Amino acid sequence: MTLSRRLAMSLPILATPALGLAQTAAYPSRPIRMIVPFAAGGAADSATRAISPRMSERLGQPIVVENRTGASGSLGGGEVARSQPDGLTLLMDASSHVVNPALMRGLTFDYATAFAPVSLVVTFPQVLAVKADLPVRTLAEFIALARTRPLNIGTQGNATAGHLGLIQFSQAAGIEMTHVPYRGGADAARDLAAGTLDGAFITMLSAGPIVDSGRARFIAVSAPQRVPLRPDIPTFAELGTPGIEISEWAALFAPAGTPEAILATLHTALRETLAEAPVQARLAQLAAVPVGSTPADFAGFVRDGRATMAELVRSANIRLD
């Protein structure tokens, strides 16, 4: 099963049999540390802060969100990997979780064995947006223009979901573009609005405000289907370029060896939180698509993602900054 197919099958938030928090009445016995290995205000951090208050109420203990940044998320990941497997230190990681093993040398832990997957929480589809005065309005026109001259396209940075999606798109369309990496989607959006970039392959959250202001426009979204928040943006597949479905995501992990009962408790609390209308409304404001996959499905998603990203990194000869 392909990575995109597994993701597409995981998207609906379905009711699950009650696992019963009473099964693990002693858990959690004290506040939970939720490590986000990225800066405050980013996609993973925003999603974490959207769900943690209600998830905390369900678990009966505070969830303290801590940002441990550095080394593409591996510093925070390493802290959780070394933590006691008692469910009191958790990791809310992003898509770098499946990219880092192919890029980084000298890691002090193995991403494949250090964590117990709990659930894919949300996805953040990437969008191709172009500056307002670029003479294209469709994907076909964009591809035609890119064949006449190199276009400068910004992303959140090297080896990010935007960069990998841009590579997928360029390979599928048979075009070459100049990749301009930034240190976040907001920075790329700023330069797109200023007209110094021809386009950007970033999250809908980053691109939305400048599109709404008339300084850029959407061309396509890298999702299996249109995103409810912006139903007017067609998918790449609709426009004749299938297979462009890379999204940024946020997902919950515990240290390897965490008891199954605790993992089940966390999964139930998360799924029930994602099903709440106010939480869904807040996530929609972030242009995030809630998922809430089972631990087994998510484990398969991670394995597939690691293999897919390793091949993409190899074929495109991607290097970290």
Distance CA 101, CA 73 (A): 12
Is there a single domain that holds both residue 105 and residue 8? yes
Distance CA 163, CA 248 (A): 11
188: in domain: yes
Token pair for 304: 């597939």
Per-residue pLDDT tens digits for 83-116: 999 999 999 999 999 999 999 989 999 999 999 9
Looking at residue 19, its pLDDT comes to: 38
Is there a single domain that holds both residue 25 and residue 118? yes
131: in domain: yes
Per-residue pLDDT tens digits for 126-179: 999 999 999 999 999 999 999 999 999 999 888 889 999 999 999 999 999 999
Per-residue pLDDT tens digits for 237-291: 999 999 998 899 999 999 999 999 999 999 999 999 999 999 999 999 898 999 9
227: in domain: no
Is there a single domain that holds both residue 131 and residue 27? no
Is there a single domain that holds both residue 10 and residue 43? yes
> Residue 21 — very low, low, confident or very high, per pLDDT cuts 50/70/90?
very low
Is there a single domain that holds both residue 8 and residue 119? yes
Looking at residue 151, its pLDDT comes to: 98
Measuring CA to CA, how many Å separate 144 from each of 170, 253, 284? 12, 43, 33
CATH number of 263's domain = 3.40.190.150
| Number of structural domains the chain divides into | 2
Range 177-204 average pLDDT: 94
Q: Of 222, 239, 264, which residue is a domain's last?
A: 222
Q: Of 222, 239, 260, which residue is a domain's last?
A: 222
Strands (E) across the chain are located at: 32-36, 63-67, 89-94, 115-131, 152-155, 178-181, 199-203, 216-222, 247-255, 289-290
Distance CA 241, CA 231 (A): 18
Q: Of 222, 237, 268, which residue is a domain's last?
A: 222
CATH number of 198's domain = 3.40.190.10
* Spatial contact of 102 and 310, defined as CB atoms under 8 Å apart: yes
Domain residues for the domain of 43 are 3-123+249-316
Is there a single domain that holds both residue 156 and residue 48? no
pTM of the model: 0.85
* Spatial contact of 167 and 243, defined as CB atoms under 8 Å apart: no
Looking at residue 25, its pLDDT comes to: 54
pLDDT greater than 70 at residue 24? no
Looking at residue 43, its pLDDT comes to: 86
Is there a single domain that holds both residue 132 and residue 90? no
Is there a single domain that holds both residue 115 and residue 129? no
Lowest mean pLDDT among 8-22, 71-85, 123-137: 8-22
89: in domain: yes
Distance CA 308, CA 306 (A): 6
Is there a single domain that holds both residue 215 and residue 290? no
